[in-house]
Amino acid sequence: MTGFDTARTTHPDVKQMIDVVQHLETFIQDCAVHGPQKMVDAFVECLLTPVILNRWHSPVPLDGLWQAVTGRTPDGVTPFVLNPPETAAELLNRLVWPKAYAAAVDLVLEFVRVTKGGSVVLSPAIVTCACAGHADV
């Protein structure tokens, strides 16, 4: 058993973090079929709070996903208040404005697999990145 496996089985906080991240990944996959509401549902089910995100140092791109479902950059203090995106294009746009979360963009694009209307979904986020100088995204 590796150190990671040991930590996952013996430390409840590590297990919770991994379980939540895996749950969020599953819901991101559902976004491709059912829209952004599935990611919002995952955040609600996971009961993520600013305290939890700060304690975990936002593994994977949780800060970006928080920004996507609330419309606000996480500050570690403001409570989670839903303001869900209505479309996949808006979801991606939120991942790059006002703060860019390149890892979250990569994660969402990996799972959503934009096949139909790709330019319609991606164009707003690309324009926002260009206007904000986020060349890394």
The full 3-state SS of 21-90, as one line of letters, equals: HHHHHHHHHHHHHHCCHHHHHHHHHHCCCHHHHHHHCCCCCHHHHHHHHHCCCCCCCCCCCCCCCCCHHH
CB atoms closer than 10 angstroms to residue 91: 26
* Whole-number pLDDT of residue 118: 67
pLDDT (tens, 9 = 90+) of the chain, 137 residues, equals 666 677 677 877 778 877 887 877 777 777 666 777 777 787 788 887 777 777 776 655 778 888 888 888 888 788 888 888 888 788 888 888 888 888 888 878 877 666 556 677 788 888 888 888 888 77
Determine the distance from the C-alpha atom of residue 58 to the mean position of all C-alpha atoms in its chain, rounded to a whole number.
10
* Whole-number pLDDT of residue 32: 62
Please write the tens of the pLDDT for every residue from 69-104: 888 888 878 888 888 888 878 888 888 888 888 888
Q: What percent of the chain has pLDDT over 90?
A: 0
pTM (two decimals)? 0.63
* Whole-number pLDDT of residue 57: 64
* Whole-number pLDDT of residue 115: 57
CA proximity to 91, closest of 20, 133, 38: 38
